[in-house]
Amino acid sequence: MSNAAYDAVCTHPIPPRMRNGTEVPFIGPNFEAYKKAHAETVGPNADQWWAQMARELLHWDRPFQTIRSGSFKTGDIAWFPEGYINASYNCVDRWAFEDPNKTAIIYEADEPGNHKYISYGELLREVSRVANVLKRFGVTKGDTVSVYMPMTWQAVAAFLACARIGAVHSAVFPGFSSEALRDRINDCRSRVVLTADEGRRGGKAIALKALADKALEGCPHVEHVLVLKHTGSENVGWVAGRDKWWHEESAKVPNYCPPELLNSEDGLFILYTSGSTGKPKGIMHTIGGYLLGAALSVKYVFDVHPDDRFGCMADLGWITGHTYLVYGPLALGVATTVFESTPTYPTPARFWETVDRHRLTHFHTAPTAVRLLRRLGESHVQNADLSSLRVIGSVGEPINPEAWHWLNDHVGRRQAAIVDTFFQTETGSIVVSPLPGAIECKPGSATVPFLGHEYALLDPVTGKELEGSGVEGVLVFKNTWPSIARTVWQDHNRWLDVYLRPYPGYFYTGDGAVRDKDGYIWIKGRVDDVINISGHRLSTAEIESALILYDGVAEAAVIGANDELTGQAVHAFVTLKREFKYDPTDEPALAKELVLQVRKVIGPFASPKKIYITPDLPKTRSGKIMRRIMRKIIAGEGDQLGDLSTLAEPGVVDVIKAKVAASA
Ligand code: PRX
């Protein structure tokens, strides 16, 4: 969309369920109410407001005195530093003591009908047992534990068991390959890994233990592997002494484990994410601040009330799973959903049957799933009773207006609110989003900064703040907030370099954004070499490194191109070593091998959609690959390449154009 086009998009009124619902929205009924609430949470009152929220929403074992210290300038951020707080106690015990029978987790298994409700009482026992097992393995405060688990309710218990004893969990998305898992286990030096015999998705088994075993061949520090018997597969490799069954170890330990006394600034988890360079960064979050951001945003962005049933479809291996499946809903004591399946298994009605079956009040997913379901037609959504839904969330990538309208018309049926929520692994919780009872939405805009957050758009070159409306710049945040990450695991300098030094005094998101005439924010996507495939974040450098590891590959250049279904798709340009022998009449065979190479090093979700084998890549005379040229050619703008005079070999452009045209 051109920047002027943003101004033409109409707003949608606050939907009926937010206006006349049984629960009065926390913030409403209009923009004025939001403005007033936001103004009270920033500026001179900000610290007092954050302190009040921290006391209201969380249980502190020892009260804090200081609210915030440090800044983006100095990179020494701390929140509630004298406070002591346990995330597991906050998410489980409080509610289990109040009502042990209240549902904590709705587990929607891969096979429809195999669902299960786990109460807070049951969750407390499971969390305690796993915590006690970890203790028997010698895990103590500050140790890391890698979690490579399928979407099971026990995976949630695994996070909370670590949190209970002060261990730092490092979850790895089960779609990552053995090699990617190995790197992540080694980077944070876990001695313990939690996994399962197999995962299940869309009727298919995923050999998680076998993948973990392969990874562990290269992980000399790992001493214990705790294996959940999930599918009961007969075919599970076993390393005696190292591997232990979850149920057998759990049977040896008591059902209660006291929560550890932990400082607000102790580590809660590491989550690896992709940046501009090849090596993933272990983003580090700490307890008190993160938990406050999670609870606060679930409460206000989703307008969650105590009897709600929250349904976040994200995988536990991503930040959305951490914040909006585990910590946020459970810190508020509401039910949360673990959805093990896919949007289309066994039919494209699966999401809606799940909402109907469990009377979910909130449904949160990524635009890519909405695009897929929209394409498959309305018939699949029509038969479900979706009247329980009050708020529908979208996250992970910009939502295109067609997908937004589809959600609004066919899922929300113009009764429920839609919130397009923007955040990042680094921000911990939502930083830009509508508040459902107060903000009239414009499809495609994440709208306004969340309570307590102040943003700016900067001129990327001068770093000056852009004032007024109708401007486009890089999105940054001023002033710290509790759930902002604190560092990159074992690499504080990298944290400073990537996020805090580019524009001193600000947190740099890496995203570009537009502010329209009404002050609404439109996220335009990454301005760095990060690409977003179906809401999964990857760096082009990471995929290039994977390709270069293939024997015959000399060079690789990867770009993200728009894709109707997945948002962006990977297009890879590859040159081969001169001595490499292959059959040039069968390039598809080689391309297939290269796709397999990426799957092997990173995982299936990173698979290139297209591979172009070319004799050369467009480079400057100093040897820098000009990805801009390939991006334009793929976008069909090969006639608008601009100044090519810096190219070392201008002839290569035509070769690439021909390759791309031939494969279209
Ligand atoms: O580019 C933005 C995009 O996802 C990036 C963050 O990725 P990750 O850390 O993996 O977290 C994904 C889940 C929050 C951002 O830099 N992004 C996230 N949400 C939105 C978005 N882009 C546009 N609109 C959103 N609502």
CA angle 490, 492, 498 (to 5 degrees): 120
- Indicate which atom in ligand 1 lies nearest the CA of residue 530: 1
Q: Is the CB of 396 under 6 A from ligand 1?
A: yes
- Indicate which atom in ligand 1 lies nearest the CA of residue 423: 14
- Predicted pLDDT of residue 278: 67
Phi, psi of 184 (to 5 degrees): -70, -35
CA of 397 from ligand 1 middle (Å) equals 5
Q: Is the CB of 420 under 6 A from ligand 1?
A: yes
ipTM of the complex: 0.99
Q: Is the CB of 511 under 6 A from ligand 1?
A: yes
CA of 367 from ligand 1 middle (Å) equals 11
The Cα–Cα gap between 23 and 387 comes to 15
Structure tokens at 83: 């406070």
Provide the edge-to-edge strand list for the sheet that holds 116-119. 116-119, 103-108, 335-339, 309-312, 362-365, 391-395, 417-421
- Predicted pLDDT of residue 648: 87
Q: Is the CB of 273 under 6 A from ligand 1?
A: yes
Smallest Cα–Cα separation from 337: which of 359, 368, 306?
359
Q: Is the CB of 534 under 6 A from ligand 1?
A: no
What is the distance between the terminal CA atoms of the chain, rounded to a whole angstrom? 24
- Indicate which atom in ligand 1 lies nearest the CA of residue 537: 10
Which residues are registered as beta bridge partners of 509? none
Give, for 212, the enclosing helix (H) or strand (E).
Answer: helix 208-216
Query: Could you give all domains of the chain from N- to C-terminal order, each with its CATH number?
Result: 17-71+78-445+482-505 (3.40.50.12780), 534-663 (3.30.300.30)
Most ligand 1 atoms within 8 A of CB, residue of 424, 432, 520, 521 to mutate? 424
CA of 117 from ligand 1 middle (Å) equals 31
Structure tokens at 66: 């200081």
Which segments in the chain show pLDDT lower than 50?
A: none
Q: Is the CB of 393 under 6 A from ligand 1?
A: no
CA of 147 from ligand 1 middle (Å) equals 23
CA of 395 from ligand 1 middle (Å) equals 7
CA of 339 from ligand 1 middle (Å) equals 21
pTM value is 0.96
Alpha helices in 25-139 (DSSP H): 31-41, 46-57, 87-88, 94-98, 120-136
CA of 319 from ligand 1 middle (Å) equals 10
- Predicted pLDDT of residue 389: 98
Which amino acid would we find at residue 547?
A: L
CA of 422 from ligand 1 middle (Å) equals 6
CA of 624 from ligand 1 middle (Å) equals 28
DSSP state of 606: G
- Predicted pLDDT of residue 23: 78
The Cα–Cα gap between 363 and 418 comes to 10
Most ligand 1 atoms within 8 A of CB, residue of 1, 397, 420 to mutate? 397
Most ligand 1 atoms within 8 A of CB, residue of 172, 404, 532 to mutate? 532
Which residues are registered as beta bridge partners of 390? none
Smallest Cα–Cα separation from 494: which of 280, 661, 194, 251?
280
Which amino acid would we find at residue 180?
A: A
- Predicted pLDDT of residue 5: 85
Q: Is the CB of 274 under 6 A from ligand 1?
A: no
Q: Count CA atoms within 13 Å of residue 478 on its CB side.
A: 11
- Indicate which atom in ligand 1 lies nearest the CA of residue 394: 26
CA of 2 from ligand 1 middle (Å) equals 21
Q: Is the CB of 525 under 6 A from ligand 1?
A: yes
Q: Is the CB of 320 under 6 A from ligand 1?
A: yes
- Predicted pLDDT of residue 573: 97
- Indicate which atom in ligand 1 lies nearest the CA of residue 426: 9
* The three-state (H, E, C) secondary structure of 455-482, written as one string: EEEECCCCCCECCCCCEEEEEEEECCCC
Q: Is the CB of 275 under 6 A from ligand 1?
A: no
Q: Is the CB of 398 under 6 A from ligand 1?
A: yes
CA of 217 from ligand 1 middle (Å) equals 34
- Give the strand pairing for 168-171 and 144-148: parallel
Ligand 1, atom 8: closest residue by C-alpha:
424
Q: Is the CB of 397 under 6 A from ligand 1?
A: yes
Q: Is the CB of 319 under 6 A from ligand 1?
A: yes
Most ligand 1 atoms within 8 A of CB, residue of 395, 445, 524 to mutate? 395
Q: Is the CB of 395 under 6 A from ligand 1?
A: yes
Q: Is the CB of 322 under 6 A from ligand 1?
A: no
